[in-house]
Each structure stands twice: as C-alpha cells, then as structure tokens.
Amino acid sequence: MNKRTLGKNGLEVSAIGFGCMGLNFAMGPGLAKEEAIKLIRSAVDQGVTFFDTAEVYGPFTNEEIVGEALAPVRDKVVIATKFGFDMGNFPNLNSRPESIKKSVEGSLKRLKTEVIDLYYQHRVDPDVPIEDVAGAVKDLIQAGKVKHFGLSEPAAATVRRAHAVQPVTAVQSEYSLWWRRPEEALLPTLEELGIGLVPYSPLGKGFLTGTMSSDTAFGDNDFRNCLPRFTPEARAANQGLVSVIGEIAALKKVTSAQIALAWLLAKKPWIVPIPGTTKAHRLTENIGAASVELTAADLQLIEVALARIELHGDRYPAHLEALTGR
C-alpha cells in the first residue's frame, strides 16, 4: 500500500489505517480476543501500518488486544493511542499533567511497547490549559516514551496554541461525506501549520457503506443507538446521500465504502482515514480504496450531487457534542 506522511516530522503511515475501537467496544458485540488479533494481523499482512486505539476503549482491553497483535511486528507499525478521559468517572475529562504521565505508563504496558508513536489528547479538557497538556507530552517525548503529539476533536485555535509549545503531528477528527465541518476552519489551519488529519468514522459509522436502512437493528450495547443520525427516521431521510454514493460507485465499478474513503484520500495528501471493521472481507474492501483514483471530474460530480442533499440529525447527543471543537 502507498504511504503518506503525517506532519512535518516525518511520521510515515499506510494511506489507510485501522481504527481498532469497534473490535471490542461501542459498536456492538465485537470479536473474541483471538479473532480480533487475527484480524489486526491480517491488516498488517495486507499493508496496513497504522493502528489506532485508546485507553478508554474497553476500557483498557482494546489496547491489550492491539499490543498483543502487533508485538511480533512492532518495528514495522505505527501505534496511536489516547489519553484524557477520567477513567473512574467517564465521560468526565482529566488532562492534568500528572494524569497524563500516569496514563502513558498504563498504555505502554498494555501495548507491550517502550514507546508510543502518536499520543493524542482524546478530548480537549477546558479545565487544563492546552499549553500545560502540550508541555506534559513534550516531557514524555524528551523522555523517549512518546514520539509524536496529537489532538482529537480540537478547535483550530486550540491547535495553534498547542503547536506553539510542542509541534502537533496529527489531528484526529470525524470527517466524511456526511460530516464536513472540519473544512470550515480546521483543515486550512492544519495545512498552514503542516499537520496531518486522521479522519475517524470515515464511513459514517457504517452508514455510508450502503448496507443500512431504516429497519437495521443495533444491539443493546451499540453506541449508535444514542446518536441522533441513527434514529430510523434520520436513516430514512439520509438515504439520498447513500444513493448518490452508490451511483458514483457503480460508475467507477467499486463499492460505496471505497468511494467514501477514496474521496478523503483525494482531498489532501496528508489525510489518512482509519476505518474500522470486525469483518475480514470489509477490511480487504477498505484497503482496496487506496487504489481507487478519483479524477477532478469525479470530485466535481460528487460535490454537485451532495449540494442537492439536506442531511438530517445531529452526529452526537448534546452532551457528547459539547466535548468537541474546544
């Protein structure tokens, strides 16, 4: 698979990464540990070198799966994880420097590694100046425990403040054909500063694949049950977007998921999406998107088609949306 570079400090990763959260957290029943490890290793065999996890996924168990799966190839892959939630009182936040330095020790142990390649603040903590957060990660980088600093779902102004203390290598934010808010202020800021973007939920938590309808049922422990865009009414109203993507996919003789991922790859050379899946055939399908080329005419066709569609439903309930864009 082709490689891309995140940030000015040369963090090279596969053009398509792997978001590991859903392997055992938030998106349904998940996989048994052995099956999750097998899927991650299959991703490595197919050229994926970039794997994303977080201490809060599980909590903790997702990092353990990633660590065990990648231990045999640790020198060939890039592992990203995250800190910043109060693990005893989720979803409250805690990015105090002493908490960050405690979190990194747990993540290092669970990931079976001596250094974390990319360490994100999971959500910006309004009670801790971002300069203090950046300074704490800078200390970890100087100590050899972390290589690169990242932020997840920050405001553009926050990125600037953090970057002035410790260069930010990558920002992770939701970005896809049905969530384009990062285009307003975040993407121009990242381009100016030389920071990579890692879109999570690049397939709209599965909606953009065209495999869902208003009748699709989610399990009791599936996070999508609480998301306004995933009510049956919203899914029915947003089928127009899925139809447009499907029509373009048919013209290109690829899948809807591959169009959604190829669109992100075509936006900027420093964008690296991290789709997740629990299915081997979907993993191969996602990886195949790296070979799909969208021309300027294709991109214009998509823009014209999307301009006619009004999307329905918020992406998060209010209390979770409030944690973003700070």
The Cα 11–Cα 183 span in angstroms is 23
Assess whether 175 carries a catalytic annotation.
Answer: no
**C-alpha closest to that of 1 among 276, 278, 273:** 273
With contact defined as beta carbons under 8 Å apart, do 116 and 79 qualify? Answer: yes
Alpha carbon separation from 231 to 130, 215, 227 (Å, rounded): 35, 10, 7
Task: Name the packing angle between helices 296-307 and 256-267 (round to 10°).
Answer: 110
Q: Give me the sign of the Cα torsion angle 311, 313, 318, 321.
A: negative
Calculated CA dihedral for residues 100, 323, 17, 22, nearest 10 degrees: 100
Alpha carbon separation from 233 to 27, 214, 228, 239 (Å, rounded): 20, 7, 9, 10
Q: Degrees (nearest 5) of the Cα angle 19, 20, 25?
A: 125
Catalytic-role residue among 57, 120, 175, 200: 57
Calculated CA dihedral for residues 219, 314, 149, 22, nearest 10 degrees: 10
Q: Which residues are catalytic?
A: 57
